Amino acid sequence: DKGNYRHFMAKEIHEQAEVVGRTLAHYVNFSGERVELPFELPFDFKDLNRISISACGTAYLAGLISKYWFERLARIPVEIDVASEFRYREAPLEPGGLALFVSQSGETADTLASLRYATAEKQHTLSVVNVPTSTMARESNVVAQTLAGVEVGVASTKAFTCQLTVLLSLAIAAGRARGTLSAEDEKELVNALIAVPGQMTEAIKREHQIEVLSRELSKAKDVLYLGRGTSYPLAMEGALKLKEISYIHAEGYAAGELKHGPIALIDETMPVIVIAPHDNIFEKTVSNMQEVAARGGRIILITDEKGALEAGLDTMATIVMPSVHPIVAPIINAIPIQLLAYHTAVFMGKDVDQPRNLAKSVTVE
Ligand code: M6R
């Protein structure tokens, strides 16, 4: 049931504050201001030398964001692969290690094959899945469920932000176990998480501005997305979302890579979407934006109030997001990224819920 929405994708974008809140309630003790995982772990984060993550598509990009979190908060090295590569590359894995999988459906063929490989290699397996009865849930040692509810739109939206919520909770739990986070730090991070649903409700108020902007975007042949830190995987997610439902070619790049090739593409016909919350690497991203602007590139900047004030350059548009703790910024900034893709595709008359050539669940290689 689409409720009052034109498409499932719109409904699912708008549902995110609610389902992220529900997922959070499962992983966080609000009054205790700490993470409480709803399952026992058959291993101790303290004993791990690394985590190996595999997943596909949007779930892979959620995993890539969590790499930054696990490494920063828990100081655990993380390696991550798209599952179609992991399953065949015969990665050497130390017995007793942790292999982590992310999948909305829990049925994706390559991710499932990777899970089976990890099981055979004597890894502890932990899967972040949305469908608790799925094959991956059945075959994993630990199931970390996202409570996104049924996701119908082929473009993953609410599953993504719920995956991020669970992964950040896990990274905080890992940081506590490894002694890299003090109780004080944990409190701060948990409070940042608790604030997310409210901030998502605020973020969605930018929809009208984004809808108007989408008309411009729909004229583009190519779109470049840039970001640093956790905004880099989010840039790739933005590009994936746009290409899968509007069929406009888009690429996501680490902003620092601009000079190493993609800068050659910059001209006034290719919009450049920059995701740059005001964090410790904001200045670096600003200098990349200046490079774009100097070559006549048209910038759509997604930032917060402080970032908008300090960016100091002419943009085609600036989408000002609520000011949030930098750690949760990718969860909030997912919303404008999704809305941009959605409205562009709708404006172009595309079938956003069922894009051509794509299946909701990819159960064959
Ligand atoms: O069910 P899964 O999360 O394992 O699916 C993985 C990808 O197929 C999926 O995220 C795909 O990339 C989406 N269509 C992206 O919006």
The mean pLDDT values, 10 residues at a time, for the chain of 365 residues are: 95 98 98 97 97 98 98 98 96 95 98 98 98 98 98 97 98 98 97 98 98 97 98 98 98 97 94 97 96 95 97 94 98 98 98 92 88
The Cα 86–Cα 55 span in angstroms is 9
- Could you say which of 187, 284, 306, 360 is catalytic? 360
Q: Whose CA is nearest to atom 8 of ligand 1?
A: 57
The answer to whether residue 360 is catalytic is yes
Q: What's the pLDDT score for residue 181? A: 98
Residue of 362, 363, 364, 365 to mutate, ligand 1, most atoms within 8 A of C-beta: 362
Position 15 scores a pLDDT of 98
Q: Can you tell me the ipTM of this complex?
A: 0.99
> What's residue 101's pLDDT?
98
**Which residues of 200-284 form beta strands (DSSP E)?**
222-227, 249-254, 271-275
Q: Is residue 325 classed as helix, strand or coil in its secondary structure?
A: coil
Long-range Cβ pairs for the range 217-221 (8 Å, 24+):
217/242, 217/248, 217/271, 217/300, 217/340, 217/344, 218/246, 218/248, 218/344, 218/347, 218/348, 220/248, 220/269, 220/270, 220/271, 221/248, 221/249, 221/269, 221/270
pLDDT given for residue 365 in this prediction? 86
Cβ < 6 A, ligand 1 pocket = 56-59, 103-105, 108, 111, 154-156, 240, 244, 361-362
Expressed in angstroms, the distance from the first to the final Cα of the chain is: 31
Pocket test for ligand 1, best of 7, 82, 104 (most atoms within 8 A of CB): 104
Task: Output the CA 82–ligand 1 centroid distance in Å.
Answer: 11
Rounded-to-integer distance, Cα 276 and Cα 15, Å: 25
- What is the C-alpha radius of gyration for the chain, rounded to an integer number of angstroms? 20
Full-model pTM: 0.98
- Give, using CA atoms, the residue closest to atom 12 of ligand 1: 57
Q: What is the whole-number distance in angstroms between the Cα of residue 107 and the centre of ligand 1?
A: 10
3-state secondary structure of 39: coil
| CA 321 – CA 340 distance, rounded (Å) | 14
DSSP-derived letter for residue 301 is E
Q: How far apart are CA 85 and CA 222, in angstroms?
A: 27
At 249, is the secondary structure helix, strand, or coil? strand
Using alpha carbons only, what angle is made at residue 360 by residues 359 and 365, rounded to the nearest 5 degrees? 60
C-alpha 151 – ligand 1 centre gap (Å): 11
CA–centroid distance, residue 61 to ligand 1 (Å): 10
Query: What ranges make up the beta strands (E) of 46-123?
Result: 51-55, 78-82, 98-103
**Listed residue (261, 253, 248) closest to 237, CA to CA:** 253
Predicted pLDDT at 364? 87
Nearest to 13 by CA among 330, 288, 332: 332
According to the model, what pLDDT value does residue 324 have?
98
Interval between CA 57 and ligand 1 midpoint (Å): 5
Which residue owns the Cα nearest ligand 1 atom 16?
Answer: 155
- For residue 156, which atom of ligand 1 is closest to its CA? 16
Q: How far apart are CA 194 and CA 296, in angstroms?
A: 41
